[in-house]
Copies of this chain bind each other. A is one copy, B any other.
């Protein structure tokens, strides 16, 4: 039996109407397809929690900037569907661009402040596109819970704040990063890496760990912490650093002094890929 695939907004609404009128918990896993183990973990978690699991697969053009990889973003629909089937997903919602944006959209959601740093600086309008498509998917599916990976920490913070500020009736469930054995965070964009690049890519996680170790050792000055971590990346000619920062985990604002939990976030360019990663750090009490 193949997993059920629904392609239109009207059809998914009709399909889910009985679920909404039941007491079943409806879970949504929003994805852009090109599954890796991180996605599978999101789906497994949703399957544990929810009576009905919907996975959406939609590569949203409005979250890619000019010159970004919208046209070349990996698509592996057949294999994604096989995974959904295997993991017991109830319905896959896989609309095309015309279905999601029947005309040029004019309504957008923006979350101020939280997108002012990190990827927000390097990807103009990215989070506006993300917040808007997530809101649309929530409007279409009306899930009780929605599952997001912690790799996209800034996206997760923005979605959470959007849900809070706009009184959306959905619980956001964060799911930990899944890593390759050498520490590289799973990403659909890891496919872009040539062999040598793939070998160096784990340096991003290594840099984050160097920052984390210093924080746990009691270092509190951001500049000192980040300087050491950045050096590891700057010594590697294949890598260009987009950013490496310490931010507060809720509003994603840079901190100069570590006084509580902080997230170390980094983004690098390597070959044709742009990779991001982050770790949460807490100062160990002396």
Does A162 interact with chain B (Cβ within 8 Å)? yes
Contact mask A104-117 → B, CB, 8 Å, 1/0? Answer: 01111111111000
> A164 to chain B: which residues have CB within 8 Å?
107
Nearest B residue to A109, CB-CB: B109
Q: Which of B107, B113, B135, B165 contacts A110 (CB 8 A)?
A: B107
Asked if B106 and A136 make an inter-chain contact with CB atoms under 8 angstroms apart, the answer reads: no
Nearest B residue to A136, CB-CB: B167
Asked if B107 and A109 make an inter-chain contact with CB atoms under 8 angstroms apart, the answer reads: yes
> A20 to chain B: which residues have CB within 8 Å?
20
Contact mask A141-162 → B, CB, 8 Å, 1/0? Answer: 0100000000000000000011
Nearest B residue to A101, CB-CB: B165
Does A168 interact with chain B (Cβ within 8 Å)? yes
Asked if B21 and A135 make an inter-chain contact with CB atoms under 8 angstroms apart, the answer reads: no
Asked if A107 and B169 make an inter-chain contact with CB atoms under 8 angstroms apart, the answer reads: no
Q: Which residues of chain A in 167-192 are interfacial with respect to chain B, using CB atoms and an 8 Å cutoff?
A: 167-169
Nearest B residue to A131, CB-CB: B107
Nearest B residue to A169, CB-CB: B139
> A114 to chain B: which residues have CB within 8 Å?
106
A216 shortest CB reach to chain B, Å: 31
Interface residues, chain A, with chain B CB atoms under 8 Å away? 9, 13, 20-21, 23, 105-114, 131-132, 135-136, 139-140, 142, 161-162, 164-169
**Supplied contacts A106-B161, A108-B112, A139-B167, 19 more A-B pairs, CB within 8 Å:** A20-B20, A105-B165, A106-B111, A106-B112, A106-B113, A106-B165, A107-B109, A107-B111, A107-B112, A107-B161, A107-B165, A108-B109, A109-B166, A110-B110, A135-B166, A136-B166, A139-B168, A140-B167, A142-B169
